[in-house]
C-alpha cells in the first residue's frame, strides 16, 4: 500500500503514498516506532491531499507538491507544541493521505419499489438503478466528519450511505415531478441533474461532491409491464378481430408443439383456434353494423342592409319568420350553396312561409 523510504535507522525523511487499490479513499501514514524529524520531506502527488493531525488536533492540509517539514512552510502548526522550538527532538504526528480523484462507476438502485402517482395509470410502483461518481472536495472535513481515526478508509465504507441519499432524493423528485411513466425515459437526463443538485447540499457536509449521476433504467412491476406489452400488441394489430386471430394462431402453434399431447394436442389446438376465430367473427360482426353518425344540422346566414348575421338553425329561422325578422325576399346562404338566394327559393325555408298561424281570435266581448 504505502512506500516508506528510510534514510536513517529510526528517522523518516521521506513521506509519501502510492495507491494501487483503486478504492482506498484515506490511508494513514503509519508512524508506529518511527518519529518524524524536523526537515523531513513530504511528497503529495496529483489527486492527493495530506492532512496533519498533531496531538489530536487537525494541524494542516497539504495540496499536491513537495514540502520540507519546517517552520516556514507550516504556519498553522507553529502554534502547536514543539513546532516553535526548531525541533531539537523528533516529534510524532499522524499523517493521513486523502485520495481526491473521482471514484467512478459506482452503483445505486432502489431496494424496494417507489410508489408514485402517474397521470395515466394512477398509483404505480417504480424501480430504478444507475451509476454515479464521487470525490473528496474537502479533505479536512471528510476526515473529521466521516473517517475519524480509521487508518485505511475505502469507498465501500461510505457507498451504502451515499446510495441511501440518492434513493431518498430520487423518490422525492420522481414522486413530485408529475412526469408520466411512459415519458420518464426521455427525461432521465433532467431527472439526473435535478437529483444531483438536491444531493450536493448533503454531500457537502461530508466533504464530498458528486460530479456525475446517471439513471440507467426506470421500470414498472412485471405484472404492469405485461399489461403494457398486451396493450402494445393490440395497438400493433390495429383491430381487435385481427388480434384475436393472432392469439388463436399462437394457441394453435403452442398446442401443436406440445410434445406430451402429440397429434391430439395439435388437433385440440386447431379446434380451439377455429372456435376462437368463429366466436370472434360473431362478436365483431355486430360492431361492423353500427349505425352511421347523425347528419350535421344545416345552418344559414342572412344578409340585410349590407350586414351579415348568423349562422341560424332552421328552428331559429322559423322563429324569425314568425316574428317578421325573416321574409320571403330575405337573402340567405348556407354551406354548399352557390351564392346568396331568396329565402322563398330554398326548399327547407320556403316551408316556413306556407304554414302561417291563423289570425288571432277577436277579443272577448
pLDDT on residue 335: 80
pLDDT on residue 1: 45
Cβ count near 305 (within 10 Å): 4
pLDDT on residue 123: 85
The residue ranking higher by pLDDT, 88 or 141, is: 141
Say whether pLDDT at 308 is over 50.
yes
pLDDT band at residue 155 under the 50/70/90 scheme:
very high
pLDDT band at residue 86 under the 50/70/90 scheme:
very low
Q: Give CA–CA dist 190/208, Å, rounded.
A: 22
Average pLDDT rounded to a whole number, residues 100-110: 93
Distance of CA 346 to the CA centre of its chain: 63
Is 214 in a helix, a strand, or coil? strand
pLDDT on residue 228: 73
DSSP code of residue 293 = P
Say whether pLDDT at 56 is over 90.
no
Average pLDDT rounded to a whole number, residues 50-71: 82
Contact 199, 133 (CB under 8 A): no
The residue ranking higher by pLDDT, 34 or 199, is: 199
Average pLDDT rounded to a whole number, residues 68-77: 57
Average pLDDT rounded to a whole number, residues 295-320: 81
Say whether pLDDT at 357 is over 50.
yes
Considering only 118-122, 313-317, 348-352, 353-357, which range has the smallest mean pLDDT? Answer: 353-357
pLDDT on residue 121: 78
Tell me: the pLDDT tens digits for 179-220?
A: 888 888 888 888 899 899 989 989 999 999 999 999 999 888
Say whether pLDDT at 258 is over 70.
no
Considering only 2-11, 59-68, 314-323, which range has the smallest mean pLDDT? Answer: 2-11
Q: Where are the alpha helices (DSSP H) in 93-144?
A: 139-142
pLDDT on residue 212: 93
pLDDT on residue 12: 52
Tell me: the pLDDT tens digits for 243-255?
A: 666 666 666 677 6
Indicate the burial class of 287 (C-beta count within 10 angstroms; 0-12, 13-18, 19 or more): exposed
Q: Which three cell numbers stand for residue 58?
A: 487537525
Say whether pLDDT at 277 is over 80.
no
Average pLDDT score, the chain: 76
The residue ranking higher by pLDDT, 276 or 127, is: 127
Tell me: the pLDDT tens digits for 122-144?
A: 888 899 999 999 999 999 999 99
Say whether pLDDT at 319 is over 90.
no
Contact 217, 107 (CB under 8 A): no
Say whether pLDDT at 24 is over 80.
yes
Tell me which residue has cell 388437433: 267
pLDDT on residue 151: 84
Say whether pLDDT at 101 is over 90.
yes
Say whether pLDDT at 358 is over 60.
no
Most confident among 14-23, 266-275, 285-294 (mean pLDDT): 14-23
pLDDT on residue 307: 82
Tell me which residue has cell 461510505: 158
Percent of the chain's residues with pLDDT above 70: 68
pLDDT on residue 69: 74
Instruction: From 279, 280, 272, 277, select the one nearest 251 (Cα to Cα).
Output: 272
Contact 95, 195 (CB under 8 A): no
Amino acid at each position: 500500500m504505502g512506500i516508506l523510504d528510510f534514510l536513517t535507522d529510526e528517522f523518516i525523511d521521506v513521506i509519501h503514498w502510492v495507491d494501487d487499490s483503486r478504492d482506498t479513499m484515506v490511508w494513514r501514514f503509519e508512524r508506529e516506532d518511527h518519529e518524524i524529524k524536523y526537515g523531513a520531506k513530504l511528497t503529495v502527488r496529483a489527486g492527493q491531499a495530506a492532512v496533519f493531525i498533531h496531538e489530536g488536533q487537525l494541524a494542516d492540509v497539504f495540496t499536491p507538491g513537495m514540502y520540507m517539514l519546517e517552520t516556514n512552510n507550516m504556519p498553522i502548526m507553529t502554534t502547536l507544541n514543539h513546532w516553535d522550538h526548531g525541533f531539537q527532538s523528533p516529534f510524532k504526528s499522524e499523517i493521513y493521505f486523502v485520495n481526491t480523484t473521482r471514484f467512478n462507476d459506482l452503483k445505486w438502485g432502489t431496494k424496494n419499489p417507489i410508489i408514485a402517482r402517474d397521470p395515466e395509470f394512477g398509483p404505480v410502483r417504480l424501480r430504478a438503478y444507475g451509476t454515479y461518481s464521487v470525490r473528496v472536495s474537502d479533505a479536512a472535513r471528510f476526515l473529521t466528519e466521516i473517517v475519524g481515526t480509521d487508518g485505511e478508509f475505502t469507498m465501500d465504507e461510505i457507498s451504502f450511505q451515499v446510495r441511501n441519499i440518492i434513493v431518498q432524493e430520487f423518490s422525492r423528485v420522481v414522486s413530485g415531478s408529475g412526469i408520466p411513466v411512459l415519458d420518464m425515459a426521455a427525461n432521465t437526463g433532467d431527472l439526473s441533474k435535478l437529483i444531483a443538485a438536491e444531493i450536493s447540499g448533503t454531500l457537502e457536509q461530508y466533504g464530498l461532491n458528486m460530479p456525475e449521476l446517471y439513471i440507467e433504467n426506470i421500470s414498472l412491476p412485471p405484472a404492469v409491464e405485461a399489461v403494457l406489452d398486451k396493450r402494445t400488441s393490440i395497438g400493433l394489430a390495429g383491430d381487435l378481430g385481427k388480434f384475436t386471430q393472432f392469439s388463436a394462431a399462437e394457441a394453435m402453434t403452442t398446442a401443436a408443439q406440445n410434445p406430451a399431447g402429440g397429434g391430439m394436442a395439435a388437433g385440440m389446438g386447431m379446434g380451439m383456434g377455429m372456435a376462437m376465430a368463429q366466436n370472434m367473427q360473431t362478436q365483431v360482426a355486430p360492431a361492423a353494423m353500427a349505425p352511421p353518425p347523425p347528419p350535421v344540422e344545416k345552418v344559414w346566414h342572412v344578409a340585410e342592409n349590407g350586414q351579415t348575421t348568423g349562422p341560424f338553425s332552421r328552428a331559429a329561422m322559423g322563429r324569425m319568420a314568425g316574428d317578421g325578422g325573416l321574409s320571403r325576399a330575405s337573402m340567405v346562404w348556407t354551406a354548399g350553396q352557390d351564392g346568396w338566394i331568396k329565402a322563398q327559393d330554398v326548399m327547407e325555408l320556403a316551408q316556413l312561409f306556407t304554414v302561417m298561424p291563423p289570425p288571432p281570435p277577436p277579443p272577448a266581448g
